[in-house]
Amino acid sequence: MSQPIIAIERASKSYRNGQQFALHDLSLEIEPGTFVAVVGASGSGKTTLLKVMNRLAEVDSGTVRVSGQPVNDRPGHELRRSVGYVFQGIGLFPHLSVAENIGITPRLLGWDSAKIDARVEELADLVALPRNVLRRLPAELSGGQQQRVGVARALAAKPAILLMDEPFGALDPITRDALGSEVRRLHESLGLTTVMITHDVLEAVLLADRIVVMRAGRIVADGSPQSLVSGHPDADVRAMMEMPRRQAERVRAVLERNSHG
Amino acid sequence: MDERVAGALRLLPDYLGQHVLLSASSLLLGLAVSAPLVVLARNSARVRWPVLTFVSVIQTVPSLALLALFYPLLLALSSLSLKLFGHGFAALGFLPSLLALTLYSMLPIVRNGVTALLNIDPAVMEAARGVGMTPRQSLFRVELPLAMPVIMAGIRTSAVWVIGTATLSTPVGQTSLGNYIFSGLQIENWVSVLFGCLSAVALAVIADQLLALVENGVATRRPLRVWLGLALLVVGVAAAIVPTTHGAKSAYVVGAKSFSEQYILADLMADRIVRAGSSATQRIGLGSVIAFKALSNNEIDAYVDYSGTVWANVLNRKDSLPRAQMLDEMTRLLKEKYGVTLLGSLGFENAYALAMRGDQARSLNVRSIADLAGHAGELRLGTDFEFLARPEWAALRDRYGLAFREERQYQSTFMYRAVASREVDVISAFSSDGRIAAYDLVVLEDAKQVILPYDAIVLLAPRRAGDATLRRALMPLIGAVPIEQMREANQMVDRDENKVSPAQAAQWLAEKAGLAGLN
């Protein structure tokens, strides 16, 4: 077993003076090259789990290691420049052009302009963004295009790790499906380690190598999509994970009824 | 062209230049002070409340009072610095105006800045952290650019306020477009008042439009507009300032309080200095007490005051002495306490006097203040701003038993108008004022000699005590201005028809005194 690229050990983080836990004595190791989906109800601690990986949030106790190094060993902004992060609300800078948005992290790292321009065009092609939108402002783009920019921005400085917080939550189903597949393809071709939060179990099943289910700051289930879909001792987990299959069966039933009709 | 418009235009380069210099400096200083305050207030809720409260409270202080308050404050600091470091600084003119206007400029900048920075979309702020920005990078690359349109709107508001309020810096000795307004108000030259207002309005509109261009450029990401707007602002400010800084500095500064007689006498003295082969500028429209402080602090070199005013307000004397004795005593005390030289009396008196309309005085059969006492309960008293606070009003009231039905205060021009139009019945007139005759007013006799003598006296600053040029220029004026001529000169300036400028009236006085062709 290779060395984990992300290792969280007995991490806790609480709000309201310990009344409510976002992370409750949580441990998690992620192998390089894995696509992990984190699912769970709202308030289960998914986003906090993602944020402690690049120090957008700090743990109260426990340790978080990225590439073997404790995250607190270096300044947060340096860590964050080396980890790609796609925000739930996209969070594009409204006053910067699409190209400037994508090139922001390389610029902070002091790349020269020619190198940044080349990288931006490369990324536009990679996320299937037409070249002619690069000079526009984010507000002039469709929701799907904006999220492509968000993904390109996260990947600009060639990070080994990509963290995504419900990246496709606000998109229509068709765009969502297409973008999901493309991200999976990028994950493969770039050799990324990807952690994606989603509330859509079907998306998790279709995209991830590994699914982590959270409840009240703890991991209640952790395994491959196959293993979780085919049954789990925890009733809630089972109910959640069986959802895609039940829906698929209902769709099949509808189709059969129509063809017999 | 109307002579009054032509006269106003001649003064424009100097007034406009000074006004622009003051406004631009105040706004820049205001920006420099506000910027760190805005960032501090954004970072800490504990700082935010005191900062916002402070700038709001400043705004509620009447602007004229704010300007006036900086004078004594700076004077105290200047004398402290003189004691500690061996040299003081000018407490009059540019510095107090700059500081007051700077404080005044801060509210819109700080309030808009704080509001804009606190209202930036949290998702964008988090993204700034997420892509690896330090807090400083987030501020300069994301938050400030996003807040800039609102901040620019605050700067525009501030610029308009400062340009308007700068007109009020005239009474603390700073030349500005307000000189048109204050002197115009005193000598009832409404063309001058209007000219001052319109110039200030035009200046504010131009500055606002150029800043709007910058704001628009910032909001729409068009750097060309930003630079064009800024370049035009810089060129405009430079073009306005250059003529005022270009001329050589004058050797002497002559001061004047804010009424016609003072303007005429300042012109008369300045003209004498020029004829003596030197140069002089004027600081006109000074507050009554500020004028003496400015003189004793060497900020002006000479001006005319009145013996009773100096006796009561400067030397704080409550008693009264016979005229000659008072002058001797005052000459000695001013030298001893302030180093100020009393060069001599011009030859006329401008005393406070109670006056009323001739027709009313005759019908009530009132000739003296003692006669007036019996009718005072049915009459209304109009005064200038300082009379009711002076010791001689208290003395008059007590010695004659005066109790008026109502007391109202006016700017002195309007005080005369008020008695003429029967809004009040008795006023605190000035005995050398041409308007006493013009409005057919009767001066009531002060049989008990409660009112102090008010000889017009020439005072010289401590550093000019032994100045031969200044003495040579001003000595011929001593004893050379009789009351009748002063009254007529005042009337020439104050009347509605055939008005002349204070300079022309000064010329007339010089001719009458036989000084026109002399050195």
Distances from the Cα of A4 to the Cα of A14, A34, B83, angstroms? 26, 10, 73
Query: Is B327 within 8 Å of B307 (Cβ atoms)?
Result: yes
Q: Helix/strand/coil (H, E, C) string of B418-472?
A: HHHCCCCCEEEEECCCCHHHHCCEEECECCCCCCCCCEEEEEECHHHCCCHHHHH
pLDDT of residue B247: 55
Cα of A180 to nearest chain B Cα, Å: 21
Q: What is the percent of chain B where pLDDT is above 90? A: 55
Q: What is the mean pLDDT of residues A57-76?
A: 93
Specify the amino acid at residue A221: A
CB contact under 8 A, A56 and B146: no
Chain B hits for A195, CB-CB cut-off 8 Å, are: none
Considering only CB atoms, B131 lies closest to which of A76, A90, A104, namely A104
Q: Residue A42, Cβ neighbours under 10 Å: how many?
A: 7
Query: How far is B293 from B508, CA to CA, in rounded Å?
Result: 30
Burial letters for B233-243: b for 16+ Cβ neighbours within 10 Å, e otherwise? beebbeebbee
Strand, coil or helix: what is B262? Answer: helix
Find the CB nearest B129 among A56, A95, A109: A56
A260 pLDDT above the threshold of 80: no
Q: Is A224 helix (H, G, I), strand (E, B) or coil?
A: coil
Asked if B145 is an interface residue toward chain A (Cβ–Cβ < 8 A), one would say yes
In chain A, what residues touch B221 (CB-CB under 8 Å)?
Answer: 95, 137
What ranges in A54-170 are assigned the alpha helix state H? 76-81, 98-102, 104-108, 113-126, 143-155
pLDDT of residue B9 exceeding 90: no
Q: How far is A85 from chain B (nearest CA, A)?
A: 6
- Interface contacts A/B by beta carbons within 8 Å: 60
Take residue A81 and report the two structure tokens written for it. 């420049």
Hey, are the CB atoms on B123 and A95 less than 8 Å from each other?
no
Which residue reads 């001599």 in tokens? B344
Q: What is the pLDDT of residue B79?
A: 82
pLDDT of B519 reads 44
With bands split at pLDDT 50, 70 and 90, how would you rate the model's confidence at B517? Answer: low
Q: Which residues of chain A have a CB within 8 Å of the CB of B130?
A: 54, 56, 80, 85, 87, 91
The reported pLDDT for the residue numbered B245 is: 61
Between B123, B146, B221, which is nearest A91 by CB?
B123
Cβ of B132 within 8 Å of Cβ of A93? The answer is: no
At B323 the three-state DSSP class reads helix
The yes-or-no verdict on residue B123 having pLDDT over 50 is: yes
Given CB atoms, is A92 within the 8 Å cutoff of chain B?
yes
In this predicted model, what pLDDT tens digit does every residue of A201-228 receive, in sequence order? 999 999 999 999 999 999 999 999 999 8
Whole-Å CA distances, A35 to A69, A194, A225, B331: 21, 5, 11, 98
**What's the gap in Å between the CA of A94 and the closest CA on chain B?**
8
Cβ-defined contact of B124 to A94 (cutoff 8 Å): yes
Tokens of A219: 């991991």
Is B136 at the interface with chain A, CB within 8 A? Answer: no
**Residue B248 predicted with pLDDT over 60:** no
> What residues in B contact A82, CB-CB < 8 Å?
132
pLDDT in tens, A3-22: 899 999 999 998 877 778 89
Helix (H, G, I), strand (E, B) or coil at B514: coil
- A107's tokens: 């610029």
C-alpha span between B312 and B321 (Å, rounded): 12
Q: How confident is the model at residue B60 (pLDDT cuts 50, 70, 90)?
A: confident
Mutate to test the interface with B, among A48, A50, A52, A95 (most CBs of B within 10 A): A95
List CB contacts of A153: < 8 A, sequence separation 6 or more. A92, A101, A102, A104, A105, B131
Q: What is the distance between the alpha carbons of residues B267 and B201, in angstroms, rounded to a whole number?
A: 29
DSSP string over B168-186: GGGGGT--STHHHHHHHHH
Contacts of B479 (CB under 8 A, 6+ apart): B344, B345, B346, B347
Residues 118-177 of chain A whose Cβ lies under 8 A from any Cβ of chain B: 137, 153, 157
Neighbours of A17 (CB within 10 A): 6
pLDDT in tens, B283-306: 888 877 788 988 998 889 999 999
Q: Does B62 touch chain A (CB under 8 A)?
A: no
Q: How many CA atoms lie within 13 A of B334 on its CB side?
A: 31
Spatial distance between the Cα atoms of A173 and B361, rounded to a whole number of angstroms: 97
Element (H, E) at B511: helix B502-512
pLDDT digits (tens, 9 = 90+) for B346-367: 999 998 899 999 999 999 999 9
**Measured between alpha carbons, how far is B47 from B49 in angstroms, rounded to an integer?**
6
Query: Are A105 and B142 a contacting pair at CB < 8 A?
Result: no
Burial class (CB within 10 angstroms; exposed 0-12, middle 13-18, buried 19+) of A258 = exposed
With a threshold of 0.95, does the pTM exceed it?
no
Contacts of A77 in chain B (CB under 8 A): 129, 132-134, 137
Which residue from A56, A79, A95 is facing B145, i.e. has the nearest CB? A95
Q: Is A78 on the interface with B (CB under 8 A)?
A: yes
Would an 8 Å CB–CB cutoff place B220 in contact with chain A? no
Q: Which residues of A98-133 are buried (b: 16+ CB within 10 A; e: fewer)?
A: bbbbbbbbbbbeebeeeebeebbeebbebbebeeeb
The model's pLDDT over B371-408, given as tens digits with 9 standing for 90+, comes to 999 999 999 999 988 888 887 888 899 999 999 999 99
Query: What number of other Cβ atoms are within 10 A of residue A76's Cβ?
Result: 16
Q: B146 and A95: CB-CB below 8 Å?
A: yes
**Locus of tokens 């998914």:** A46
CB contact under 8 A, B124 and A81: no
Q: pLDDT tens digit string along A111-144?
A: 999 999 999 999 999 888 999 999 999 999 998 8
- Contact (Cβ atoms closer than 8 angstroms) between residue B493 and residue B500: yes
Judged by DSSP in three states, B366 sits in coil
Q: d(Cα B76, Cα B293) in Å, to the nearest integer?
A: 11
Cα angle A98-B145-B134, degrees, rounded to a multiple of 5: 85
Lookup: tokens for B102: 């700077």
Highest mean pLDDT: which range of A130-144, B318-332, B487-501: A130-144
Do residues B389 and B346 lie in contact, with contact meaning Cβ atoms separated by under 8 Å? Answer: no
| Cα radius of gyration rounded to whole Å, chain B | 27
Position B390 scores a pLDDT of: 80
Query: What are the b/e assignments for B452-477, b being 16+ CB within 10 Å?
Result: bbbbbbbbbbeebeebeebebbbebb
**Yes or no, beta carbons of B133 and A95 under 8 Å apart:** no
Q: How far is CA A23 from CA A28, A54, A235, in A?
A: 11, 15, 22
Confidence of residue A1 (pLDDT cuts 50, 70, 90): low
H or E element at residue B101: helix B94-118
Specify whether the CB–CB gap between B288 and B310 falls below 8 A.
no
Q: Which amino acid is at B151?
A: I
